[in-house]
Amino acid sequence: MSGIRMLPAGEQGLVVEFGQTIDSAINNRVHQTAKLLNMEIGDAIFEIVPTYRSLLVYFNPMRITRANLIRQIETMLKKTENCLSEQDQKQIVMIPVCYGGDFGPDLDFVARHNGLSPEEVIKIHTSDPYQVYMIGFTPGFPYLGGMSERIATPRLEKPRIKIPAGSVGIAGSQTGFYPMESPGGWRLIGRTPIKAFNPQASNPFLFDAGQYLQFKAITEEEYHEINRQVDAGTYSPVTHIHVKGGGAI
Amino acid sequence: MITVVKPGMFTTVQDSGRWGYQAYGMSVAGAMDRYAYCLANLLVDNDCEAAVLEMTMLGGTFRFNVSTQIAVCGADMGALLNGTELRPWQAVQVAKGSELVFSYALSGCRAYLAVQGGIDVPVVMGSRSTYTRAIIGGFKGRALQAGDVLQIDDYQGLCGTVRELPAQLVPRYETEIRLRVLLGPQDDLFTAEGIETLFNSSYTISSEADRMGYRLDGPKIQHIGKADIVSDALCQGAIQVPAHGMPIVMMSDRATTGGYTKIGTVIGPDLTKLAQAKPGDTVRFIKCTDADAVEALCAERDTYCQAKQIFSTAEKSRTFEEQVRQYNVTIDGRKFSVKIKER
């Protein structure tokens, strides 16, 4: 367990830090530990917040002392150290995107900036699943890892004041989409009709940190059809599960 | 029902917060000053989770279309009930048709209006708190506007006892406050001099102080290297220090994650003082240990228990004095002692 640090974050917070960089293996460790700790949620531990490289454990010091909590987590980490090294399966949530046009006003810029055609940008953007490292900034906003440097593009110098919900963008070598209308400086290349955040739904969030997202190009007609289904509450997103060493199931 | 005649500067419905969804980027929100919030609820016999109105700097004007019992705690906004001064930190009977008028905060920054039974707005993801940035919770996800109508239960009970908080439990809001701080999680990214600066300086609350966070001005806190980290979770009271060296204390509507170094955390029980502080007020940070912080938290919880006990004891003794009658009756030559409890 070398390199794991237990840091205080107020009298009700404990940070379990696995590293200091953005790294897929570190992030896997964070989410697998979060999953295990989520099973312990109760009076003593009341919330777990996993992020890129650490997780914040909220606890009630009148139910468990900090020293005991640290001991408990260390024991758990030791027990699971070996089986935590790699994810056994990947859950991939498919995100349909209508690229270009009014939905993706910066697609041509991203293509020109990287010496590619817009079609090539779309092909690269949809080719591989992206790991959801964490969710933050606004409800449901995914911080994704693993975008190809071939389509990396700097942010807008002057952020837009209003970006419509569902907008898919690129900022440096990051990609992601806006679950709700907000200001932002990302280069917009398309839009998804899917709602990543629906506060009225019994499950308000489409995906969990630790899962994967893969974008899929759709036509404008398909966009409007899915949009209708989303509004009617009849759309359910497609999720693939990839098992380590095997194919999709 | 309560009709909002004037909303005040920024009045929202709040409860103890939307916990459990920070992993999805959902801010906790909730009452900024949990002490005043909790006691306002206890005074009207609500539990500590009920939804109340939180007013900021300038309070609103409200018309009651039902009779009920209310309590106002926190900042003194010179409340007038039907033109008569309303005493804060105690329960007050309000007759149907009454008008409650708040004005500018004379001391403190946030006032809480609790109504018996709580403000009835839909529960969104386990909470009634308004989170305006995501437009969810509370009344239509926004601050109140003139003409809004809030649902409350028509309070039928005529419990004669009016709860009042003992004077020693009523806080005084100072313009110079001291906040205890637990170092970490990133105190190791600051120079020893930087940490000394934090604890030996006086900081002024800037005009950028809202439900999200309080930006402070004062001596620059020195980092060892960069001020940016790979983003991690932000807890309530976290003191972020960006490259400019000025501390920002994260409050109820904070984002769930942030990328600036956090030198320490203002302990939970002391956030009540910051929530009641205004731009221009000064802050001093006092270093404390984890044991000190836990003790302060226990003391805060004890206060709530103490208040509850005082209220219930007062009511019990009153019940005994006023509402129990004893009769000695003889029926068919046999003597009976009968106690009758009146409700």
Residues in chain B with CB shorter than 8 Å from the CB of A180 are 134
Chain B residue with CA closest to A60: the answer is B294
| Exposed/middle/buried for residue B114 (C-beta within 10 Å: 0-12, 13-18, 19+) | buried
Residue B203 phi/psi, 5-degree rounding, is: -115, 145
Say if the Cβ atoms of B265 and A13 lie within 8 Å: yes
**Domain extents for chain A?**
5-80, 89-243
Q: Is B184 within 8 Å of A8 when comparing Cβ atoms? A: yes
Whole-number average pLDDT of chain A: 91
Domain A89-243 is found in CATH 2.40.100.10: yes
Closest-CA residue to B285 (of B223, B225, B217, B202): B202
**Best to test chain B binding among A7, A11, A141 (most B CBs inside 10 Å):** A11
B66: amino acid identity, one letter: V
Residues of A in contact with B128 (CB under 8 A): none
Q: Are strands A89-99 and A239-243 parallel, antiparallel or unpaired?
A: antiparallel
Per-residue pLDDT reduced to its tens digit, B205-253: 999 999 999 999 999 999 999 888 988 999 999 999 999 999 999 999 9
Query: B138 in the Ramachandran plot: left (φ > 0), alpha (ψ -120 to 50) or beta?
Result: left
CB contact under 8 A, B183 and A134: no
Query: Rounded to a whole number, what is the distance in Å from the CA of B64 to chain A's nearest CA?
Result: 30
Q: Do B230 and A61 touch (CB under 8 A)?
A: no
Q: What is the mean pLDDT of chain B?
A: 92
A34–B23 C-beta distance less than 8 A: yes
Of B124, B255, B262, the CB nearest to A199: B124
Residue A62 has pLDDT above 50, yes or no: yes
A9/B133 CB distance under 8 A:
no
Of the candidates A61, A136, A209, the beta carbon closest to that of B297 is on A61
For residues A243 and B227, which has the higher predicted lDDT (pLDDT)? Answer: B227
Cβ within 8 Å of residue B104, ≥6 positions away: B57, B58, B59, B77, B78
Give DSSP secondary structure letters for B293-317.
HHHHHHHHHHHHHHHHHHHHHHHHH
In sequence order, the β-bridge partners of residue B74 are: B111
Q: Which residues in chain A have their CB less than 8 angstroms from residue B124's CB?
A: 199-200
Q: Is the dihedral of CA A65, A66, A72, A76 positive or negative?
A: positive
Select the highest-mean-pLDDT range: A20-29, A158-167, B234-243. Answer: B234-243
* pLDDT score, position B334: 73
Q: Provide the pLDDT for residue A249.
A: 46
Give pLDDT, residue A18. Answer: 96
Phi, psi torsion values for B177, nearest 5 degrees: -115, 155
Asked if A136's CB is within 8 angstroms of B296's CB, the reply is no
Least confident of A51-65, B297-311, B328-342: B328-342
* pLDDT value at residue B342: 54
Least confident of A127-136, B57-66, B331-340: B331-340
> What are B267-279's pLDDT values in tens digits?
999 999 999 999 9
* ipTM of predicted assembly, 2 dp: 0.89
* CATH class name, domain A5-80: alpha beta
Q: Do A22 and B230 touch (CB under 8 A)?
A: yes
Contact assessment for residue A181 and residue A164, using Cβ atoms and an 8 Å cutoff: yes
A136 and B255 in contact by Cβ < 8 A?
A: yes
Contact of A173 with A152, CB cutoff 8 Å: yes
| Chain B positions in Cβ-Cβ contact with residue A52 (cut-off 8 Å) | 230-232
Q: Mapping DSSP to helix (H, G, I), strand (E, B) and coil, where does residue B7 land?
A: coil
Q: Say if A42 is an interface residue toward chain B (CB within 8 Å).
A: no
Residues A20-35 have a mean pLDDT of 92
CA distance B259 to B265: 15
SS3 helix, strand, coil % of chain A, rounded to 5? 25, 30, 45
- CA B13, B16, B21, B26 dihedral sign is positive
Question: What pLDDT digit, counting tens, does each position of B277-302 carry?
Answer: 999 999 999 999 999 999 999 999 99
How many Cβ atoms sit within 10 Å of the Cβ of residue B225? Answer: 9
Domains of chain B: 2-169 (no CATH), 176-288 (2.40.100.10), 293-341 (no CATH)
CB A111 within 8 A of CB A170: no
The answer to whether A185 and A159 have CB atoms below 8 angstroms apart is yes
Contact A193, A165 (CB under 8 A): no
